[in-house]
Structure 1
Amino acid sequence: MVTLEKENVRRPHRRALTLGLVAVLVLVLAVVGAVMPVPYVSLRPGPTMNTIGANPETDKPLIEITGAPTHQASGHLNFTTVAYTGGPKRPISLFTALRDWLNDERAVVPQETIFPKDETVEEVEQENTFLMEDSQQTSVAAALIQLGQKPSTVAAVQTVEKGLPADGVLQPGDEILAVAGVAADRTTRVTGALKKYKPGQSVELTVRRAGKEQKVTLALAPSPQDANRAVIGVVLRDRYVFPIDVKISVGDIGGPSAGLMFSLGIYDLLTTGDLTGGKFIAGTGTITADGQVGAIGGIQQKMLGARKAGATVFLVPAGNCDEAVPAAPEGLRLVKAETLDGSIKALQALQSGQGAVPSCSS
């Protein structure tokens, strides 16, 4: 009897000790999970803005056009974005990653998806800024070409490499108009002309800076990658020269995926009638000058953001259709977008109720 009584006394004590150890272990794991950084990024729906309306932060038109008559447009043609949490400078915790992984509105992806290992955060941000600027330029070109106007181009300096001949002579934004007196209206013509030179030879460039032309002479240097190739040390990109001035104000949003919606907004403002028919239409997709629509990332988060904002129609790049269909929120009609011209015709068919409207599910 004595032995049984002693064991009966010890058992509650052992259970309490075990529960106490489990509680401590859970607490330790919770603390570790809350502070332990993981190399992942959490994606969520970002802001969505109406390209034919006002920027909500400034209350000014998101797209301002001067030099051509414009027409007031109704409805919405919203571009969509993806926001993220995490990154090399502010990594998310294990707990946050697990919590967001269970959230249907979020996607947890490897950090390298946004921040490649061979690039700094500053380089990624700079690249996204450039991609947005380039997207805006291309979207204007696409809209004007759709309207029967073909803008001219010029080779513009994007960056100047330190320690090479152009360093201290050329600046970002300079436009190279001619090489050795021969007109060059695009990047390929500038680079093609420079291929005729050898390291050590000099070349005269006609450059336009802030509207003023000047001539500069540079002695070409061997390329750091190929000693037999002559370079001046700049990265060039084609810049369009438009007959009108188009200003697109989106704040600090970066990336190229709003191109299609910018083009549609510009087209709608420059033409009579409405593309939307008063509907709330949103979408995404890159754009080329000849109107080709390209695939983008974060389609699920963009659709969710659009639906929450009130969109009932969403323009999906053809390359994103397969992943968009199963992730589409209820009440959002998906329209497949392959070209700017096709997207315009699809919106006109939606408005009139006549004609085929391309769908992601067909």
Structure 2
Amino acid sequence: MNAPTVPPSPPTRAIAELNERSREIFRQIVESYLATGEPVGSKNIARMLPMTLSSASVRNVMADLEQAGLIFAPHTSAGRLPTQYGLRFFVDALLEIGDVAADERDRIESQMRAAASRHTFETALAEASSMLSGISRGAGVVVTTKTNARLKHIEFVRLDPGRALVVLVSDDGSVENRLLDLPPGLPVSALVEASNYLNARIAGRTLPELRAELQQRRAEMERELDELTARLVDAGLATTVGAAEGRQLIVRGQANLLEDLRAAEDLERIRLLFADLETQTDVIDLLTRADEGEGVRIFIGSENRLFSLSGSSMIAAPFRDGQQRVVGAVGVIGPTRLNYARIVPMVDFTARVVSRLLEGGR
């Protein structure tokens, strides 16, 4: 069951004037929706409240909440659900977020460290996505740049007089090959010399770090290398850095989204969400917005174009490299009735573990 779209002009004054009783009733409606996905009526709300109120009094408050745009009636029954704007208000003003339990922290950190040490950093990111999927019963997502990997070896391999292959080996074992156009008249010895020059300076640096250092030491490089070899080094780094700055998306647990379907409209919503996930560029763009701020970002339903049809939510947090630059984000995508109180701290902690791995704290 999807809430209607966000009102174009939210009645913020009415919301600001909600008294404690109204807020508590609204909280019970939202928490019931997050737990069951079903509308809740005034009689059930009256039983849940920590105060004594008649069903009639609860109905009066619910009418005020509906007028304020926070709840709606999905059909003619007495039950109510939160609107997407109501969910945003709940998340921003009323959500009580706990902490990640010590045993869960240990499990997340140990599994990710093991994946990173046995395999590659990308494997650790896939592990993070899988764990978040299992915790949330939604889809775990990770977006990252390819600039994360620290280099172990670079080699220029001549293919023909006008082209060479730049082979990059990272310390996580991954290998990338990039084609490079060679300057006219470049001798074979220049390829060996350029490879040796770069390998002597890699020392676990990322491509952007290596490029920045060589730019600072430009005069030194020009003294040590002839003009054609220096041009080869510049061209090789430009090619590889440009390629490495692309974004890649890892998604795990889409099948979780098929569980707990209650109606044909739920199945249609999931079909639309799967279509959203297939459009990787849009998902990457939305996750990249999590890079823009500190901490966890929550995107609810039609607040963003990507989920305007499926009415889904995403919780995401950025992670950083050793220079404290944001280089990606981890998150969870699922229905709007995600368990925000549990998932928000999990996403935040997972992002911090990824950051520590990138900083070399293995």
TM-score (ref. length: structure 2): 0.27
Per residue, is there more strand in 1 or in 2? 1
TM-score (ref. length: structure 1): 0.27
The structure that has the greater radius of gyration is 1
Per residue, is there more helix in 1 or in 2? 2
